[in-house]
Amino acid sequence: MCGIVGYIGSKEAQPILLSGLKRLEYRGYDSSGIALILPHNKNIGIRKAPGKISVLEKLVKSKPLCGMVGIAHTRWATHGAPTQVNAHPHSDCGGQIAVVHNGIIENYEALKNQLIKDGHAFRSQTDTEVIVHLIEKFYKGIPLEEAVSLALKLLIGSFAIGVVAVNEPNKLVGARRGSPLIIGVGQGENFLASDVPAILGFTKEVVFLDENEIVVLDKNNFKISNLDGKDVFKTTTHINWDIDQAEKAGFDHFMLKEINEQPKILESLINSRIQKQTGKICFQEQNIPEAKLKEIKNIFIVACGTAYHAGMVAKYVLESLCQVPTQIDVSSEFRYRDLLIGPETLVIAISQSGETADTLAGIREAKRRNCSIISICNVLGSTLTRESDGVIYIHAGPEIGVASTKAYTAQLTALYLFAFYLAQVKGIISGTKINKLLTELSKVPGYQSQILKQQQKIAVLARKHSHLGSFLYLGRNVNYPSALEGALKLKEISYIPAEGYAAGEMKHGPIALIDEYRAVVCIAPESKVYEKMISNIQEIRSRKGKIIAIATVGDQEVKKLTREIIYVPRIEEIFSPLLVVLPLQLMAYHIAVKRGCDVDQPRNLAKSVTVE
């Protein structure tokens, strides 16, 4: 996913834009660029290059740009290879307008053909370039923002854009549809960005643009309207993250920092959801009336990747505690299914970023069927949260590492709390039972801290197995999703083929894989399916599989079967996914580091998949 930064103020824009791009590096990119209005010669200066931002920095060092209005971009190639000519910003034929763009223009070929017929000269293979030539086409005697609106109305697809023009040097224009864009409100300066970290070092006051909204900024004001020119009034939101939260805080990688933040995040999340006076569970932003929740006949969970695994755990919890039939689907399947859902369905959308294209498309489908929608999300004001009926923020702080860790356990915790809340609303379980569950859940942060004290031991075990060519992860019941999550963590940052499986499926195929060249991670905490897991481990042992077990402290059985054991504290089975995942996260991390992989920005991956 690409990154956008824009600046208009009284300071030199170049260093501000470059520092903003660096804070967006985690989103993944393969080229970057910057464009400034050059006041002295009434022109636009553009510098752009494939590769990391350090390449762009060298370029601007050798050929600096001076100006106080500009836009910048990190590009993740979708149309056209990551080359200098395809990097953003893109300019019009006359070099008087510059545009940066996140998203995909689905009808760009037809538009490009028509523009070429109209005499426009294209330089790149990108879809983005049609935008700047369309603006050029309309920008005749009307304000820039009107020309931009006319151009955007012709686009099919998604966009977040930043635009500057020589003719109106004291103006910065931004607009969005299907891709996030925020305004940073400063003192005598204003910013555009695709995500909060880019501007957090300059201001904590932000405004979130909604679908089909356009903003005109000068250094002291901003004006938002829809694409038909109708004014839209918005207040600013104060971001309570500090810039250092978006830094590594002394850890080697964001991922390791975020793994270690989990106890603190879960503790504050649990405490913030329990009303001190009554002990009842409360969700400030959950706006679905309790009467409506009482009528819910079924639940459908929609998510991708790690969020999907959190949803799989939630299915066990919701059906067990709330006795509501719960289905789950990956968003990319849900959105194209012939859905049997309606007003009696509660759709729970889980998304760390709140910008995942398939999940957004899924809830829009659900909305068309008059379902109630609750989103479990980490990013304040993200698109998903503004299109849901209710929101449960997980308040995990910025998750920079592409591999999701703290967001996963925070999503799980929010889902446990929501299940207690729903059971409370539906009168399924008593207050005493809820208190018992809350007491058990409240032990999790402390237990996680105990597990994190084993990091060195886990690192040694991980490095010892880092040469193996493939891994199999096995779990049962509420830890079957834990097996899938463990496999995803490993494969996405170490590039080792890894598969998660329901352990009960072993005889239906996977047991053929077992030999001494493969590690099998067996998730076997104390549970009603523990004996079954032991049987699986015995089957693997007899075939010389390399067994790594996650077991409960004090387990005497497992140590007869393998020496490679990571122990987790004893907890009620339903909560064990919150514990067993930490060793899985740390194993993946240390194996990837041992293999020299780019842990925070793994190849081919972006932090948020905002396109299909």
Q: Which residues are catalytic?
A: 2, 607
Closest approach of ligand AGP to the CB of residue 586, in Å = 14
Q: Return the number of the residue (208 or 567) whose C-beta is nearest ligand AGP.
A: 208
Q: Which two tokens stand for residue 325?
A: 């039939």
Query: Are 65 and 17 within 8 A, CB to CB?
Result: no
Number of residues that bind ligand AGP (CB under 6 A): 16
CB 51, min distance to ligand AGP, A: 23
- When binding is defined by CB under 6 A, the residue of 147, 307, 417, 566 that contacts ligand AGP is 307
Q: Which two tokens stand for residue 82?
A: 């990551």
Q: Which of 168, 258, 389, 492 is in the footprint of ligand AGP by CB under 6 A?
A: 492
Alpha-carbon distance values, 141 to 97, 136, 137, 147, 151 (Å): 14, 11, 11, 9, 15
DSSP state of 201: T
Residue of the chain from 352, 409, 413, 477 that contacts ligand AGP (CB under 6 A)? 352
Provide the terminal-to-terminal Cα distance of the chain, rounded to the nearest Å.
11
Report the residue from 103, 305, 381, 445 that binds ligand AGP according to the rule CB under 6 A. Answer: 305
For ligand AGP, the binding residues in 107-146 under the rule CB under 6 A are none
Taking CB atoms, the residue at the shortest distance from ligand AGP is 305
CB of 605 to ligand AGP, least distance (A): 6
609 binds ligand AGP (CB under 6 A): yes
Residue in 499, 498, 491, 611 with CA at minimum distance from that of residue 28: 611
Judged by DSSP in three states, 268 sits in helix
- Per CB under 6 A, which region of 113-121, 246-254, 347-355, 506-514 contacts ligand AGP? 347-355
CA angle 455/456/458 to nearest 5° reads 65
Minimum CB–partner distance for residue 464 and ligand AGP (Å): 24
Q: Is 601 in the site for ligand AGP (CB under 6 A)?
A: no
Could you tell me the smallest distance in angstroms from the CB atom of residue 436 to ligand AGP? 31
Sheet arrangement for strand 190-193: 43-50, 31-38, 69-75, 3-8, 190-193, 182-185, 205-208, 237-238
| Site residues (CB under 6 A) for ligand AGP, limited to 391-420 | 402-404
Q: Closest CB to ligand AGP among 304 and 586? A: 304
Q: What share of the chain is helix, strand, coil (3-state, %, to 5)?
A: 40, 20, 40
Which structure tokens are listed for 239?
A: 């971001």
266: DSSP letter: H
d(CA 486, CA 491): 9
Residues with Cβ within 8 Å of residue 277, at least 6 apart in sequence:
none
**Contacting ligand AGP (CB under 6 A), which of 180, 608, 610, 611?**
608
- Which one, 14 or 351, has the nearer CB to ligand AGP? 351
Question: Taking the complex as a whole, how short is the minimal distance between the CB of residue 54 and ligand AGP, in angstroms?
Answer: 24
- Closest residue by Cα to residue 33 from 67, 73, 6: 73
494 binds ligand AGP (CB under 6 A): no
2-10, 238-246, 254-262, 298-306 -> range binding ligand AGP (CB under 6 A): 298-306
Lookup result for tokens 């555009």: 192
Where along the sequence are the contacts to ligand AGP (CB under 6 A)?
Answer: 304-307, 351-353, 356, 359, 402-404, 488, 492, 608-609
